[in-house]
């Protein structure tokens, strides 16, 4: 699975879980709303039930109170008066019982003592009919039985009965609190009343207690909270009280629907927004991943495989060498004059050139071969399936021819060339490191032989490499053992009379090879990472020695590689501190090479140095490509006109004009101008005439050891001899 797929999968996963969360939240909201609604409905239903109970209770209490009016008859009962008298008395107070359809004064055995039914005196038959409706009424089984004193009578105090659709409510009350009346017979007496529960009466009851539409049905209502059974005399239930449920929860529904709708819309918009953002992010991630993948294996600028891919392919090919049987060749290609194009026409032109070179190289390869960009202007080719030994040479020659053709970059035509080093496997080596080292040695050879050619690796090159390594080792120990030495060359006032500065030039007195000039070992030091210790040694020694030469400046050369080192400025400052040398007397000589690669970093380092009081000179001015640009941008104190101008001055008048204008330019920019390599009095006179500030050259002095400088400085006019000779 590719990274892009995995991020896509990650995305779908995220969206799915988001959608899940969204659905869950919505469902929870719906459930909550529904829960609240049903809860409200249930609560209200329970309340309705409570109200119905309360209604019934109130009804019973009211009716029983009414019935108890009959207690007024207790003394008559106690006296055991005859029926007629009782009936007469009962009728008198029965007006209070008008709300009953029938009211009876009976003994515990069910014998009617008195009563009124539908406005007429009641009959025993009337009471018995009522008793059939409600068998538990006084009489029947419990006939004559006295309830134990202090206990409520085991009689239904209230009941509601369904008699074939006619609903009757029956209330029973005792006559006295102790229940016992008629001391003689010890018979208890009860008063029983009934009322027909007509629909109008039931509805009125409901209305009084805020229960809507209270009525009787014969079909069992399905909602247990909305029914009250009304038993028939035989205990069966064929009628129910029911009412209209008031459902406050339902009233909330529209509001909930609105709220839920809004929440759903809100959530979906958030969801859609997040999805879009995620989708966008995933696209970006996939794009980056592709980029990274490509970058990991491919050179971004040239679109060729990069060094890593090259190394991997080479390892693979080497591993297959034995199986395939045919040798392979590694070609290292280094462009000639690439830096010049870069410096003259800018980095964009340089980039374009790299792309075009890559295109030409790629077009020349056979399937199975690899071309890669290994670095700035360096390319590598792996040639597999070499038929005959000359194959690699033939390809190398074709590459030379192809790259010798002019290129069109940024609207100009440029010509470059290349040098090629070739090594073969298994012949020159059977591992990548060896092969690459040997191809590199061959490349070095090709360049040394004058560029624009190819060279095979040969065993003697190894010797040259070996030599280089020996030099490196020796140089390392020479630095460590303090075996290097410094010579100083005076920088002289324009009239040639005063020493105003001394340039430190390093020398290596070699026990076998004699005095080795810097041009021979500085490049090795740069290549082998010795330039920092070497330069620090030079600066330290120069500062120590120049301390004894007050009043003159000390010029020290800085190699571009050293200058680019991130600790360069810090090391200069540290050495100044440690030697106690006055920074204002130190002048560092930089070349244009210092400035081309990372101009911003260079500028920062230069500002830093200047802020410590160190001054800066542009060395070898005129040998680079865009010197004027540097002069404008970077804060130099001085330019040193390269020796080559003076060398050719006599030969070509052009050089003289150039020197003239350079001096003018320098003066115009407020810089001091120093001419290097002054060898003749004519040159001296010319430079004096055009307005140069300082001179340096064999005419005045060669670079000499420190002791000789002591002598020169001690003299009144150090160069009197040379001057008279001139």
Q: Which stretch binds ligand C2E (CB under 6 A): 85-93, 253-261, 555-563, 610-618?
A: 555-563
703 binds, among Ca ion, ligand C2E, none (CB under 5 to 8 A by kind): ligand C2E
Q: Does 474 bind Ca ion (CB under 5 A)?
A: no
Q: Which of 679, 688, 722, 723 binds ligand C2E (CB under 6 A)?
A: 679
Shortest CB 599 distance to Ca ion, Å: 21
Look up residue 707 and give its two tokens: 């002791």
Indicate the residue among 420 and 674 with the shorter CB distance to ligand C2E: 674
Q: Which stretch binds Ca ion (CB under 5 A): 49-57, 330-338, 368-376, 611-619?
A: 611-619
677 binds, among Ca ion, ligand C2E, none (CB under 5 to 8 A by kind): ligand C2E
Look up residue 255 and give its two tokens: 């509001």
Specify whether the backbone of 622 is left (phi greater than 0), alpha (psi in -120 to 50) or beta. Answer: left
Shortest CB 340 distance to ligand C2E, Å: 20
Q: Does 350 bind ligand C2E (CB under 6 A)?
A: no
Query: b or e along 323-345 (b: 16 or more beta carbons within 10 Å of the residue's beta carbon)?
Result: eeeebbbbbbbbbbbbeebbbeb
Q: Does 615 bind Ca ion (CB under 5 A)?
A: no
Shortest CB 657 distance to ligand C2E, Å: 21
Indicate the residue among 199 and 517 with the shorter CB distance to ligand C2E: 517
Length of the chain: 726
Q: Which residues pair with 231 in a beta bridge?
A: 237
C-alpha 483/C-alpha 477 separation (Å) is 8
Contact by Cβ (8 Å): 192, 106: yes
Q: Does 620 bind Ca ion (CB under 5 A)?
A: yes
- Sketch the per residue contact string, 588 through 627, with ligand C2E: x for CB under 6 A, - otherwise: -x-----------------------------xx-------
From the list 492, 579, 482, 481, the residue with the least C-alpha distance to 539 is: 579
Q: Does 153 bind ligand C2E (CB under 6 A)?
A: no
519 binds, among ligand C2E, Ca ion, none (CB under 5 to 8 A by kind): ligand C2E
679 binds, among Ca ion, ligand C2E, none (CB under 5 to 8 A by kind): ligand C2E
C-alpha 133/C-alpha 170 separation (Å) is 10
Q: Does 538 bind ligand C2E (CB under 6 A)?
A: yes
Q: Which helix (H) or strand (E) holds 590?
A: strand 586-590
Q: Which of 97, 371, 395, 506 binds ligand C2E (CB under 6 A)?
A: 506
C-alpha 473/C-alpha 466 separation (Å) is 11
Q: Does 559 bind ligand C2E (CB under 6 A)?
A: yes
Tokens 């119905």 correspond to 52
- Residue number of the CB closest to ligand C2E reads 697
Contact by Cβ (8 Å): 126, 141: no
Look up residue 722 and give its two tokens: 């040379």
Indicate the residue among 211 and 555 with the shorter CB distance to ligand C2E: 555
End-to-end Cα distance, the chain: 83
Shortest CB 539 distance to ligand C2E, Å: 8
Q: How many CB atoms lie within 10 A of CB 224?
A: 9
C-alpha 330/C-alpha 366 separation (Å) is 14
Q: Which stretch binds Ca ion (CB under 5 A): 101-109, 647-655, 673-681, 716-724?
A: 673-681
Shortest CB 479 distance to Ca ion, Å: 20
- Sketch the per residue contact string, 579 through 608, with Ca ion: x for CB under 5 A, - otherwise: ----------x-------------------
Shortest CB 588 distance to Ca ion, Å: 10
Q: Does 703 bind ligand C2E (CB under 6 A)?
A: yes
Q: Does 545 bind ligand C2E (CB under 6 A)?
A: no
Contact by Cβ (8 Å): 482, 692: no
Q: How many CB atoms lie within 10 A of CB 458?
A: 14
Contact by Cβ (8 Å): 673, 650: no
459 binds, among Ca ion, ligand C2E, none (CB under 5 to 8 A by kind): none
Contact by Cβ (8 Å): 369, 434: no
- Sketch the per residue contact string, 415 through 434, with ligand C2E: x for CB under 6 A, - otherwise: --------------------
Q: Does 505 bind ligand C2E (CB under 6 A)?
A: yes
Q: Does 509 bind ligand C2E (CB under 6 A)?
A: no
C-alpha 484/C-alpha 467 separation (Å) is 20
Contact by Cβ (8 Å): 638, 617: yes
C-alpha 508/C-alpha 522 separation (Å) is 10
Q: Does 698 bind ligand C2E (CB under 6 A)?
A: yes
- Could you list the beta-strand ranges (E) of 32-157: 102-107, 112-117, 120-121
Scanning residues 556 to 575, which ones bind Ca ion (CB under 5 A)?
A: 557
Indicate the residue among 354 and 534 with the shorter CB distance to ligand C2E: 534
Indicate the residue among 439 and 678 with the shorter CB distance to ligand C2E: 678
Q: Is 243 helix (H, G, I), strand (E, B) or coil?
A: coil
Q: Which stretch binds ligand C2E (CB under 6 A): 153-161, 325-333, 595-603, 676-684?
A: 676-684
Specify whether the backbone of 662 is left (phi greater than 0), alpha (psi in -120 to 50) or beta. Answer: alpha
- Sketch the per residue contact string, 490 through 529, with Ca ion: x for CB under 5 A, - otherwise: ----------------------------------------
* Cis peptide bond prior to 426, omega within 30° of 0: yes
Q: How many residues bind Ca ion (CB under 5 A)?
A: 5
C-alpha 497/C-alpha 603 separation (Å) is 35
Scanning residues 264 to 293, which ones bind ligand C2E (CB under 6 A)?
A: none
**580-583 long-range Cβ contacts below 8 angstroms, 24+ apart:** 580/547, 581/543, 581/544, 581/546, 581/547, 581/554, 582/613, 583/612, 583/613, 583/614
Exposed/middle/buried for residue 392 (C-beta within 10 Å: 0-12, 13-18, 19+)? buried
Residues lying near ligand C2E in the complex (CB under 6 A)? 489, 505-506, 517-519, 522, 535, 538, 557-559, 589, 619-620, 643, 677-679, 696-698, 703
Residues lying near Ca ion in the complex (CB under 5 A)? 557, 589, 619-620, 676
């Amino acid at each position: 699975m590719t990274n892009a797929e995995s991020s896509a999968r990650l995305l779908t996963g995220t969206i799915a879980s988001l959608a899940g969360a969204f659905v869950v939240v919505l469902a929870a909201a719906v459930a909550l709303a529904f829960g609240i609604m049903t809860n409200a409905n249930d609560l209200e239903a329970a309340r309705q039930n409570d109200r119905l109970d309360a209604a019934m209770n109130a009804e019973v209490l009211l009716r029983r109170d009414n019935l108890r009016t009959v207690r007024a008859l207790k003394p008559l009962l106690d006296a055991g008066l005859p029926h007629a008298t009782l009936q007469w008395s009962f009728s008198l107070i029965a007006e209070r019982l008008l709300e009953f359809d029938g009211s009876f004064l009976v003994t515990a055995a069910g014998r009617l003592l008195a009563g009124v039914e539908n406005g007429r005196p009641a009959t025993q038959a009337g009471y018995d009919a009522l008793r059939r409706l409600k068998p538990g009424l006084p009489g029947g089984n419990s006939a004559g039985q006295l309830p134990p004193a202090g206990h409520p009578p085991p009689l239904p105090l209230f009941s509601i009965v369904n008699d074939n659709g006619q609903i009757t409510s029956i209330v029973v009350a005792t006559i006295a609190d102790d229940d016992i009346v008629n001391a003689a017979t010890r018979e208890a007496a009860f008063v029983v009343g009934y009322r027909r529960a007509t629909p109008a009466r039931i509805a009125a009851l409901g209305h009084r207690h805020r229960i809507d539409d209270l009525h009787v049905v014969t079909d069992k209502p399905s909602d247990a909270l909305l029914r009250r059974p009304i038993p028939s005399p035989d205990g069966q239930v064929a009628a129910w009280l029911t009412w209209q449920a008031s459902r406050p929860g339902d009233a909330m529904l529209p509001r909930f629907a609105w709220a839920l709708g809004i929440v759903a819309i809100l959530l979906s918009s958030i969801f859609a927004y997040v999805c879009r953002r995620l989708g966008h992010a995933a696209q970006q991630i996939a794009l980056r991943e592709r980029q990274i993948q490509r970058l990991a294996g491919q050179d971004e600028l040239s679109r060729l495989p990069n060094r890593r891919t090259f190394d991997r392919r080479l390892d693979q090919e080497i591993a297959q060498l034995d199986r395939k049987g045919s040798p392979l060749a590694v070609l290292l290609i280094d462009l000639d004059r690439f830096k010049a194009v870069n410096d003259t026409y800018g980095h964009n032109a340089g980039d374009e050139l790299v792309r075009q070179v890559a295109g030409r190289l790629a077009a020349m390869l056979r399937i199975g071969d690899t071309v890669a960009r290994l670095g700035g202007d360096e390319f590598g080719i792996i040639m597999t399936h070499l038929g005959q030994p000359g194959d690699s040479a033939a390809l190398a020659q074709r590459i030379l021819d192809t790259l010798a053709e002019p290129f069109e970059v940024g609207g100009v035509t440029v010509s470059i060339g290349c040098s090629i080093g070739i090594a073969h496997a298994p012949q020159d080596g059977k591992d990548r490191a060896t092969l690459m080292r040997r191809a590199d040695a061959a490349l070095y050879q090709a360049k040394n032989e004058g560029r624009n050619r190819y060279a095979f690796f040969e065993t003697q090159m190894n010797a040259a490499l070996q030599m280089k390594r020996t030099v490196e080792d020796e140089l390392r120990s020479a630095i460590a053992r303090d075996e290097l030495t410094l010579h100083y060359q005076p920088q002289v006032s324009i009239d040639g009379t005063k020493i105003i500065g001394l340039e430190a030039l390093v020398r290596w007195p070699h026990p076998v090879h004699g005095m080795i000039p810097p041009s021979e070992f500085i490049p090795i030091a740069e290549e082998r990472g010795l330039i920092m210790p070497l330069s620090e040694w030079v600066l330290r020694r120069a500062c120590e020695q120049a301390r004894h030469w007050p009043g003159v400046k000390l010029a020290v050369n800085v190699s571009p590689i050293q200058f680019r080192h991130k600790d360069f400025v810090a090391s200069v400052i540290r050495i100044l501190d440690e030697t106690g040398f006055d920074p204002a007397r130190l002048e560092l000589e930089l070349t244009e090479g210092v400035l081309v690669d990372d101009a911003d970093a260079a500028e920062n380092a230069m500002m830093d140095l200047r802020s410590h009081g160190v001054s800066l000179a542009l060395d070898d001015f005129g040998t680079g490509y865009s010197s004027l640009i540097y002069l404008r941008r970077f804060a130099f104190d001085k330019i040193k006109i390269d020796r080559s101008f003076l060398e050719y001055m006599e030969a070509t008048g052009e050089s003289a004009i150039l020197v003239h204008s350079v001096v003018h330019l320098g003066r115009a920019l407020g810089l001091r101008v120093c001419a290097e390599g002054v060898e003749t009095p004519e040159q001296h006179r010319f430079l004096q005439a055009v307005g140069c500030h300082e001179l340096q050259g064999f005419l005045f002095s060669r670079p000499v050891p420190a002791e000789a400088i002591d002598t020169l400085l001690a003299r009144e006019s150090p160069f009197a001899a040379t001057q008279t000779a001139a």
